[in-house]
């Protein structure tokens, strides 16, 4: 709508006749669109979110119509569809036990055991920032963002020979304003890419800076990849966080105790422990203050040009402080903050241990967490989806 109503179209004849410079004309058009988009974000965001919530509720109501059940004085439950038992089990345990706990049955009892912990496999920066429970915060005077792996786990015990239930999840799970008292501005992915490219070029040119430039580049590029994967018209607003199902896949783990390891006189339905895992990432653009320098023929940014001028005049000290990023790694499970990548990896190795393989909920292929974390949890299914139905009660587990 705004593209059609831009007043500049009235001068299109002047442009086609060569009287208007394309660069100047395009810049005025770009500024017009940016102003309109910012107006929409500041004034129409709340109403759009409310409408999305109402639409989601209508979809849920349509897919799950309310049914009436009649009881006739018996002591049995009404025949309403139920997927979970009316009680749950809560277990307090260290992170390593979360990855190795297993349930089984012995006669009339449910037993809990601890599998041997898996050997740790070295991981790199790409895998680390996509590892469960890991957060990364990036800060410079002009750019600040955060990535948080907030995977959704559904854990329960059930009979292992019965198919699992699975509710289809929303790809975009949540969009929130970080601080409602602050304003928001919208930027295109292309502009952010141009800024990151120039920032990395300057960072590489600074000698004797105590920063691993390669790792900084990976973190920045994965943040840009989040914006591209979210695909909200290839734009991102400041002061905004988005939670999405990274990779668009869902995985599961099934664990059970071998019946050869204990004696049982119960039924032939072995009890096991199941996890359904939805990989989710919360990516947040806290602020971006980059201002394009219109006095240069190529795309550049005013603050970065000042830093480049400092480097040209050999004023390295004045350039290092604003260009050197502050990067903080966090473990959301243990509420731990660390500034060194090696320290957070050591924490995972010693406290969490290695995550077991997961199984694609559609094609049943077993995949390692090391592999999935290196490819943004993307997986291409090779077979038809399996049937996922459940008619027995499951006991939810809280760890």
Classify residue 52: in a domain, yes or no. Answer: yes
| Residue 394 sits in the same domain as residue 288 | yes
**Average confidence (pLDDT) over 14-25:** 74
Please report whether residue 363 resides in a domain: yes
- Report the number of distinct structural domains present in the chain: 2
pLDDT of 33: 82
Same domain, 3 and 146: no
Which residues share a beta bridge with 330?
A: 135, 337
In the prediction, which pLDDT does 1 show? 57
Q: Give the length of the chain.
A: 399
Query: What are the start-end ranges of the H helices in 211-294?
Result: 213-230
Domain identity same for 234 and 363: yes
Q: Which residue has the higher pLDDT, 398 or 391?
A: 398
139 within domain boundaries: yes
Confidence of residue 261 (pLDDT cuts 50, 70, 90): very low
The answer on 119 and 63 residing in a single domain is no
Residue 111 lies in a domain: yes
Same domain assignment for residues 355 and 228: yes
Of 35, 67, 99, the one marking the end of a domain is 67
In a domain, 255, yes or no: yes
Q: Are residues 143 and 280 in the same domain?
A: yes
- Nearest CA to 365 out of 247, 246, 248, 251 is that of 251
Prediction pTM value: 0.73
Domain that holds residue 115: 88-398
Integer Cα distance of 159 and 256 in angstroms:
10
Asked whether residue 38 is assigned to any structural domain, the reply reads: yes
pLDDT of residue 130: 98
User: How far apart, in whole angstroms, are the C-alpha atoms of residue 131 and residue 338?
Assistant: 15
Q: Select, from the ranges 75-79, 84-88, 309-313, the one with the highest average predicted confidence (pLDDT).
A: 309-313
Confidence class for position 69, pLDDT limits 50, 70, 90: very low
Q: For 121-125, 163-167, 251-255, which range has the lowest pLDDT when averaged over its residues?
A: 163-167
Let me know if residue 78 belongs to a domain: no
Domain finish residue from 67, 100, 117:
67
Q: Is residue 276 within 8 Å of 252, Cβ to Cβ?
A: yes
Claim to verify: residue 2 and residue 115 sit in the same structural domain: no
Query: What would the pLDDT profile of 184-234 be if each residue is shown by its tens digit?
Result: 999 999 999 999 999 999 999 988 788 999 999 999 999 999 999 999 999
Handedness of CA 244, 246, 248, 252 (dihedral sign): negative
Write out pLDDT tens, residues 31-66: 778 877 777 776 666 777 777 777 777 766 665 554
Q: Are residues 369 and 237 in the same domain?
A: yes
Share of the chain above pLDDT 90, in %: 45
265 and 341 fall within a common domain: yes
> Average model confidence (pLDDT) for the chain?
81
Asked, for residue 340, whether it belongs to a domain, the answer is yes
- For the record, the structure tokens of 39 come out as 């107006």
Residues 60 and 126 both lie in one domain? no
Indicate if 49 and 180 belong to the same structural domain.
no
Percent residues over pLDDT 70 in the chain: 75
Q: Which residues are within 8 A (CB) of 144 and not within 5 positions of it... i.e. 6 or more apart? A: 137, 138, 285, 286, 287, 288
Asked if 350 and 214 sit in the same domain, the reply is yes
pLDDT at 387 over 50: no
């Amino acid at each position: 709508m705004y593209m059609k109503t831009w007043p500049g179209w009235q001068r299109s004849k002047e442009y086609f006749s060569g009287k208007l410079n394309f660069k100047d004309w395009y810049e005025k058009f770009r500024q017009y669109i940016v102003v309109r988009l910012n107006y929409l974000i500041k004034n129409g965001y709340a109403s759009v979110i409310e409408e999305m919530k109402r639409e989601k509720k209508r979809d849920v109501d349509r897919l799950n119509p309310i049914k009436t059940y009649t009881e006739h004085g018996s002591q049995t439950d009404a025949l309403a569809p139920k997927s979970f038992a009316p009680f749950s089990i809560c277990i307090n345990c260290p992170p390593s036990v979360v990855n190795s706990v297993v349930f089984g049955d012995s006669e009339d009892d449910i037993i809990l055991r601890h599998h041997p912990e898996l050997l740790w496999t070295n991981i790199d920066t790409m895998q680390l920032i996509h590892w469960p429970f890991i957060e990364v915060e990036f800060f410079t005077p002009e750019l600040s963002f955060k990535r948080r792996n907030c995977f959704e786990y559904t854990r329960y015990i059930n009979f292992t020979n019965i198919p699992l239930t699975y509710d289809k999840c929303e790809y975009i799970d949540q969009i929130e304003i970080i601080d409602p008292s602050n304003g928001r501005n919208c930027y295109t992915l292309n502009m952010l890419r141009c800024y990151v490219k120039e920032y990395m070029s300057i960072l590489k040119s600074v000698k004797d800076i105590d920063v691993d430039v390669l790792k900084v580049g990976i973190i920045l590029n994965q943040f840009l990849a989040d914006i591209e994967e979210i695909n909200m018209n290839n734009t991102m607003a400041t002061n905004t966080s988005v939670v999405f199902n990274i990779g668009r896949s869902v995985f599961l783990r099934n664990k059970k105790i071998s019946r050869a390891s204990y004696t049982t006189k119960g039924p032939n339905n072995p009890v096991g422990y199941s996890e359904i895992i939805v990989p989710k990432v919360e990516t947040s653009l806290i602020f971006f203050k980059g201002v394009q320098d219109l006095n240069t023929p190529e795309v550049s940014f005013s603050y970065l040009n000042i830093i480049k001028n400092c480097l040209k005049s050999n004023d390295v000290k004045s350039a290092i402080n604003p260009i050197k990023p502050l990067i903080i790694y966090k473990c959301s499970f243990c509420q731990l903050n660390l500034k060194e990548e090696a320290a957070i990896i050591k924490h995972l190795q010693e406290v969490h241990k290695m995550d077991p393989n997961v199984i694609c909920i559609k094609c049943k292929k077993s995949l390692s967490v090391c592999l999935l974390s290196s490819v943004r949890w993307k997986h291409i299914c090779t077979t038809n989806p399996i049937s996922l139905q459940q008619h027995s009660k499951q006991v939810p587990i809280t760890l």
